[in-house]
Structure 1
Amino acid sequence: MPSIIVYDLRCEYRKHPVGIDVLRPRLSWKLAADRRNVGQETYRIQVAVDESFRRLVWDTGLVRSDRSVHVEYEGEPLQSRTRYYYRVQAGDRTGCQSEWSDGAFWETALLKREEWLADWIAPPARADKPNVEIDYLRKTFRIQGEVSQARIYATAHGLYKLFVNGKTPDDTLFAPGYTSYRKRLQYQTYDVTHLLANGTNAIGVMLGNGWYIGDLGWMDGRHFYGTERALLMQLHVTYVDGRQEMIMTDEGWRGSTGALLMSELYHGETCDARLAQEGWHRADFPASDWQSVEVRALTKDPLIAQEGEPVRIVEKRTPVAVFVTPRGEIVLDMGQNMVGWMRFRVEADAGTVITLRHAEVLDQQGNFYVDNIRSARQTVRYICKGGESEEYEPSFSFQGFRYVQVEGLPIEGLADRFVACVIHTDMEPAGSFRCSDEMVNQLQRNIVWGQKGNFLEVPTDCPQRDERLGWTGDAQVFARTGAFNFNVAPFFAKWLKDLAADQQPDGGVSHVVPDLPFCGYNSSAWGDAAVIVPWTIYQCYGDVRLLETQYPSMKAWVDYIRNQGEDECLWNSGFHFGDWLALDGPGGRVVGATPKDLIATAFYAHSASLVAKAAAVLGYEEDSVRYKNLLEGIVNAYRKEFVSPNGRVVSPTQTAYVLSLMFDLLQENDRPRTARMLAEHVKENGMHLTTGFVGTPYLCHVLTRFGYHDIACQLVLQKEFPSWLYSVGQGATTIWEHWDGIKADGSFWSEEMNSFNHYAFGAIGDWLYRAVAGIDTDPAAPGFKHIIIEPHRGDGLSAAEAVYWSAYGEIRSAWETTGNARKRLEVSIPPNTTATIILSGADPGRLTETGQPYTAVEGFLSSEIAESGIRLLVGSGHYSFEY
């Protein structure tokens, strides 16, 4: 008997989110089926305030629709601090009906600002060491009766770490996260029901500087958002008998200092365990000498509930080697450039100082190397209490490193004392890629590790030096690759709201988000993140709400450009980074040879085209027409300014050719010649690229699109500098900032700007997924509702496989060339979607699926034979082709 199953229920992309403030949350689910060509025809959703679904607040009844992603809640108005349970039934086109899914839930936070009754409190003032030593705050309270539910809602100016009766309620790190604090300050929700006890209880909070107060950037700046740490917290207790009680931050809290003497994001931590006040966060701790806190009249207007997943420890690694450098330094090798910290165990005399320094690479002689991290100290100092085994790990600082220099401990048994904790925003893995070339597989691993290390609260440019900022240019070039590797929709939705919040009154966009004024504003390809990233997320996830939320910001950016200079259709004014870190700049400069006004106008056209498309999606027809007309004017101006009357791009650089072709800026009959000139340029450069941040993400896409896929493959398989595999050959485990960050002789490109975990050039991952493996979404049916499978085989690769977990389920494309020159393609299409499979070069007479003629197999909806091959329209299921 055919059947379907509803599974993997989500609310706002998340499983069982606790503490959201979305008034009309969206629900999604997946289908599993035991046959091909399964599509949903009906669904029914029930939402209740009890697990038995007797107290319903929404019952859709039977809805005829194939929607199973982002279905908006339309029930009774949601109440604060309430858990809502939901379940789903679905029916397919054959009339087969599923059972009810397993129940899932979401829980609301504080939905109204007036529900925040707590006061902001500041730690006792310390004139001698302001904002250096970490603050410890505590309060005791009594629980009288059996508790049915207890929730803490908390936030801070600075970073905070929460304890209830000496225990942390969850594994959240770096709360409240990094946002545009003046306009958007997250608070977190904690279920602490299991931590409370009848009688006296205690809440303890550590407060550190973090992004709010501490050092940010390379200009020795701090206090960008405020000069004082502060805490805001409410504990809501509900008893079994219905009584409710609230404990909150007020003048009754007490504060002191403790073992943690210094903690900065860039510089590390200093902890003197001899100063620890043991049990400070427990109810029985004698706190008579702790000082009273001060109440502050601070605004609560920016408060928002946690958006997406927080930072967590996602992996642990042990050292792969311990060695002594030529300088005599004792060094741990973790085998992987990563982001996080070292947890260690020690038995030593009181006062023994353990010092850890962190670095990405060794120098030419094999010594510990830290010049490239500039003023960031990345140093952890631990002073032992003595007399017992001690364990330590940082609380409010993270490091970017592969190597750890250890002082204060003997080398014997050293590796057994240390564990590396890998941290990043806890994004859900979404995809994988592998192929027949192991160096390309290592490249893919490097791309993933680069994303892990740099997707920490915001999409940082690097995680080790005195920067670690949300550079817009890096984010927009990598967004599509990032979406293949992880579910980045909540991550980017949060960051894009900060981008809009920090947008200038004239529509200008800062170079980094959240904004730091000294970083600057309004460069092409950087500010265009305001348009490109929302459109990318919409294409990958079908998220119309995100597109609608960001649409005013998208429009404002294009209108900002339109108001620059004397010609509204050219962008030839202002500061631009240009083709940053390209290799064709004169004298080895970091800016490439492609004219900045060409790049700026090309991205202006691209952003105008995306705003026109977004307006059409959202039903803003007048805007759509307006921006289409603007696009037409920009394209005409581009051709007049940067293309000769005979159709030749006047700047003969790879990036100029790439942008002209990628953004469809040339007359159609001029495009083949320009593509040929691009291919010739690559060959004339010894099959090497010369592109930087602007041209690199699109280079291989353009070559593949215009029939030069073999050249694209040769570029990616190139092992000599400059190439993606050059760094792999040098032992890289993440993506480098510079193509030759380490030269063949072991020397460095520079000391000033030479990150070895800088993910932008990892944007080639998008091409590996979309071109080599051939998985893409149909722009007309975004979010992989209709899937395009079009693998491209090329010289040097005999097999490739990609798996991507879309909102509908697993998509897989795996191809190989067999020994008899036959080609094999395995495809998986999830239920409730369809796919177009394009088999280039396939002979209809030889094409089989699971050993049968392809036209006779279940799941095929239609086929089209073209000169280039065969196009098949199929329903869901697993398919195995040979041709």
Structure 2
Amino acid sequence: DTYYLRGTGQDELLEPHFTSHGFRYLRLDAYPGPVNPADFTAVALYSDMPATGSFSCSDPLVNQLQHNIQWGQNGNFLDVPTDCPQRDERLGWTGDAEVFSRTASFNRDANSFFAKWLGDLAADQGPDGAVPFVVPSMPFTRGKNLIGAAGWSDAATVIPWDLYTLYGDRRTLAVQYPSMQRWVQYIQNKSRNNLWDTGFQFGDWLAFDVDDDNGGRSAVTSHALVAQCFWARSTQILLDAATVLGKTADAATYAASLARIKAAFVREYVTPGGALMSNTQTAYVLALQFDMLPENLRAQAAERLVQNVADYDTHLTTGFLGTPYLCQVLSRFGHADVAYKLLLQKTYPSWLYPVTMGATTMWERWNSMRPDSTFAPPSMTSFNHYAYGAIGDWLYTTVAGLDAAAPGYHQLVVRPQPGGGFTQATATLETGYGPARSHWHTSGDQLTLDVTVPPNATATVYVPTTAPGSVREGNRPLDASRGLPAGPAQAGYQPVQVGSGQYHFTAAWAPKATAALGSH
């Protein structure tokens, strides 16, 4: 937009009502007189979603990362979840929304926002169940050319389930259920021998790659392997949704289908020794996150993932679809120390590299700006693209340890995994029942954990400790008669059942105890 002031000396107002622009800087040309920055105010415009969650820790760069995650969301959640607000795209890309929906729903009350957008998604869905890449759809994604893609079109299943688990929104789950079914049926119709290995796929979009890659360092994951994992993911969600909605016949159908999908995955993509066809972080992350492997192959697969991280000098190589689950999988399988090292990595590719380069929102690419400040590549790069901000979910649920154990946080689980040299971390969330909070702090050989459980809710609190017998609440030993029944200690934690209220736990702690914390 170009606007010329009248020059009358009177106040002038220009407020566009039918457009918005993403920007970071304002340039003034031929401005009369000295420039006072205080005379200029930028107006942030986004859908009216109350702020609900907060996260902070003892590391200032990670706090800036959280700031970037939140402002990446603010800049893109305007009527629809756009991929970026500042170039000629600004479209509701389904893949970005799918990977970010849990993080988004912690930061803000996004239930109504997503519920409305899911209605748009169902309206744009093709008669064969295909879900377009962008919603509302555009000419290049609709009509006879309408096709679906793994990780993008799965927004049709993933987001309704997220709304149910995080908000207890059973109604949206029921409304979207036919759309969810049509999408999974589309995959079934495109598959061959229980393998989704046909048609176009984005794959693990914008994963780490190397120009002139004679050494084979680019992290290219088989598109078909990725698609198979997301087919299983959406089928599992449909199975769970059918169970919640009382559709027992559907649940049985999807359970049988899920077994066939996973069996085909093992047959096609797993060697007898347990290696995956694609030796990439994303391949192992998706296989482990979605339980594609038999129990007896999972621990060794996690070890292969850890080795791959080490092979890249403790750098991530994941793209849009692997990144959201990387640290979650490492933590789940007993490698939280590796997850923290990845989080705190400051060189490309990493979450903190953009922070060290002065980023104030999330970037589209790990190297949207190179160390010499050139763009990579100028033809397609964005400095406000929230997808990689999906790491926020791990910060809230694992670093701070605040998560839902039942739909809508009627039951909570508080299970922090301290590490990374952090001395404290805090997550707060305004749930449908009221405020919830987890705050831990370490000092020497002592750990304190402060927990708030909202009214009419309960929680299982896992107190990290190297000596379960040392755990106290309010300076008193745990006592079932006081409503604090303690379960048996497990893998570096003392679990405690609590009702609504505020609790102050103390426990013995060792600064290097992170690796001893068990999976969950």
Matched residue type, 2:390: A
Q: CA deviation at 1:600?
A: 0.4
Q: Secondary structure at the match of 1:598?
A: helix
Deviations 1:726-756 (A, max 9, x none): 0000010000001111111111111111100
Equivalent position to 2:432, from 784, 807, 825: 807
Deviations 1:214-235 (A, max 9, x none): xxxxxxxxxxxxxxxxxxxxxx
Q: Secondary structure at the match of 2:429?
A: strand
CA contact (8 A) 2:58 2:422 kept: yes
In structure 2, relative to structure 1, the CA distance for the partners of 1:387 and 1:852 (3 Å cut) is closer
C-alpha distance in structure 1 between counterparts of 2:397 and 2:492, whole Å: 19
Q: CA deviation at 1:380?
A: 3.1
Equivalent position to 1:841, from 465, 469, 476: 465
- Could you tell me which residue of structure 2 aligns to residue 525 of structure 1? 151
Q: Which has the higher strand share?
A: 1
CA contact (8 A) 1:826 1:880 kept: yes
Q: CA deviation at 1:645?
A: 2.1
Q: CA deviation at 1:818?
A: 1.0
Q: Secondary structure at the match of 2:427?
A: strand
Equivalent position to 2:421, from 791, 796, 799: 796
- Could you tell me which residue of structure 2 aligns to residue 831 of structure 1? 455
Q: CA deviation at 1:870?
A: 1.6
- Could you tell me which residue of structure 2 aligns to residue 558 of structure 1? 184
CA contact (8 A) 2:367 2:376 kept: yes
- Could you tell me which residue of structure 2 aligns to residue 73 of structure 1? none
C-alpha distance in structure 1 between counterparts of 2:308 and 2:327, whole Å: 13
C-alpha distance in structure 2 between counterparts of 1:839 and 1:427, whole Å: 33
CA contact (8 A) 1:714 1:796 kept: no
Equivalent position to 2:163, from 532, 537, 559: 537
C-alpha distance in structure 1 between counterparts of 2:466 and 2:437, whole Å: 20
Deviations 1:98-119 (A, max 9, x none): xxxxxxxxxxxxxxxxxxxxxx
C-alpha distance in structure 2 between counterparts of 1:611 and 1:856, whole Å: 39
- Could you tell me which residue of structure 1 aligns to residue 357 of structure 2? 730
Residues 13-24 of structure 1: matches in 2 within 5 Å? none
- Could you tell me which residue of structure 2 aligns to residue 581 of structure 1? 206
Residues 645-794 of structure 1: matches in 2 within 5 Å? 645-778=272-405, 781-794=406-419
Q: CA deviation at 1:406?
A: 1.8
1:877 paired with 2:504, answer no
Q: CA deviation at 1:396?
A: 2.1
Deviations 1:71-100 (A, max 9, x none): xxxxxxxxxxxxxxxxxxxxxxxxxxxxxx
Identity fraction in percent:
49
In structure 2, relative to structure 1, the CA distance for the partners of 1:876 and 1:861 (3 Å cut) is farther
1:412 paired with 2:34, answer yes
- Could you tell me which residue of structure 2 aligns to residue 860 of structure 1? 484
C-alpha distance in structure 1 between counterparts of 2:394 and 2:197, whole Å: 31
1:606 paired with 2:228, answer no
C-alpha distance in structure 1 between counterparts of 2:151 and 2:446, whole Å: 43
- Could you tell me which residue of structure 2 aligns to residue 242 of structure 1? none
Matched residue type, 1:533: I
Q: Secondary structure at the match of 1:860?
A: coil
CA contact (8 A) 1:785 1:808 kept: yes
Deviations 1:224-264 (A, max 9, x none): xxxxxxxxxxxxxxxxxxxxxxxxxxxxxxxxxxxxxxxxx
C-alpha distance in structure 1 between counterparts of 2:23 and 2:41, whole Å: 13
C-alpha distance in structure 1 between counterparts of 2:295 and 2:59, whole Å: 36
Q: Secondary structure at the match of 1:872?
A: strand
In structure 2, relative to structure 1, the CA distance for the partners of 1:670 and 1:791 (3 Å cut) is same
C-alpha distance in structure 1 between counterparts of 2:174 and 2:265, whole Å: 29
In structure 2, relative to structure 1, the CA distance for the partners of 1:702 and 1:585 (3 Å cut) is farther
Q: Secondary structure at the match of 2:426?
A: strand
CA contact (8 A) 2:101 2:162 kept: yes
| TM-score relative to the length of structure 2 | 0.93
Residues 135-214 of structure 1: matches in 2 within 5 Å? none
Q: Secondary structure at the match of 2:8?
A: coil
- Could you tell me which residue of structure 1 aligns to residue 119 of structure 2? 497
Q: Secondary structure at the match of 1:616?
A: helix
RMSD of aligned Cα (Å): 1.7
Deviations 1:375-405 (A, max 9, x none): xxxx331341726332333332211111111
1:546 paired with 2:172, answer yes
- Could you tell me which residue of structure 2 aligns to residue 459 of structure 1? 81
CA contact (8 A) 2:344 2:420 kept: no
- Could you tell me which residue of structure 2 aligns to residue 129 of structure 1? none
**Which region of structure 1 is more displaced relative to structure 2, 766-775 or 853-862?**
853-862
C-alpha distance in structure 1 between counterparts of 2:472 and 2:421, whole Å: 26
In structure 2, relative to structure 1, the CA distance for the partners of 1:538 and 1:552 (3 Å cut) is same
Q: Larger Cα Rg: Structure 1 or Structure 2?
A: 1
The size of the alignment, in residue pairs, is 500
Q: CA deviation at 1:786?
A: 0.6
Matched residue type, 2:152: W
C-alpha distance in structure 2 between counterparts of 1:790 and 1:613, whole Å: 24
Q: Secondary structure at the match of 1:693?
A: coil
- Could you tell me which residue of structure 1 aligns to residue 266 of structure 2? 639
Q: Which has the higher helix share?
A: 2
CA contact (8 A) 2:350 2:366 kept: yes
C-alpha distance in structure 1 between counterparts of 2:123 and 2:11, whole Å: 48
In structure 2, relative to structure 1, the CA distance for the partners of 1:734 and 1:847 (3 Å cut) is same
Matched residue type, 1:521: I
- Could you tell me which residue of structure 2 aligns to residue 508 of structure 1? 130
- Could you tell me which residue of structure 2 aligns to residue 487 of structure 1? 109
C-alpha distance in structure 1 between counterparts of 2:33 and 2:296, whole Å: 68
Q: Secondary structure at the match of 1:440?
A: helix
Deviations 1:148-202 (A, max 9, x none): xxxxxxxxxxxxxxxxxxxxxxxxxxxxxxxxxxxxxxxxxxxxxxxxxxxxxxx
Equivalent position to 2:224, from 597, 614, 635: 597
C-alpha distance in structure 2 between counterparts of 1:497 and 1:486, whole Å: 20
- Could you tell me which residue of structure 2 aligns to residue 570 of structure 1? 195
Deviations 1:503-556 (A, max 9, x none): 000000000000113145301100011000100111100110010000000010
C-alpha distance in structure 1 between counterparts of 2:85 and 2:10, whole Å: 34
- Could you tell me which residue of structure 1 aligns to residue 44 of structure 2? 422
**Which region of structure 1 is more displaced relative to structure 2, 416-425 or 760-769?**
416-425
C-alpha distance in structure 2 between counterparts of 1:873 and 1:415, whole Å: 53
CA contact (8 A) 2:219 2:280 kept: no
**Which region of structure 1 is more displaced relative to structure 2, 860-869 or 547-556?**
860-869
In structure 2, relative to structure 1, the CA distance for the partners of 1:584 and 1:660 (3 Å cut) is farther
Residues 337-352 of structure 1: matches in 2 within 5 Å? none
Q: CA deviation at 1:417?
A: 3.5
Q: Secondary structure at the match of 2:250?
A: helix
Which 5+ residue runs of structure 2 have no aligned equivalent?
508-520
Equivalent position to 2:54, from 427, 432, 443: 432
Which protein, 1 or 2, shows the higher relative CO under an 8 Å CA cutoff with sep ≥ 6?
2
Q: CA deviation at 1:584?
A: 3.9
- Could you tell me which residue of structure 1 aligns to residue 513 of structure 2? none
Matched residue type, 1:570: L
Residues 442-481 of structure 1: matches in 2 within 5 Å? 442-481=64-103
- Could you tell me which residue of structure 1 aligns to residue 14 of structure 2? 392
CA contact (8 A) 1:861 1:875 kept: no
Which 5+ residue runs of structure 1 have no aligned equivalent?
1-378
Residues 156-305 of structure 1: matches in 2 within 5 Å? none
Matched residue type, 1:851: N
C-alpha distance in structure 1 between counterparts of 2:99 and 2:112, whole Å: 18
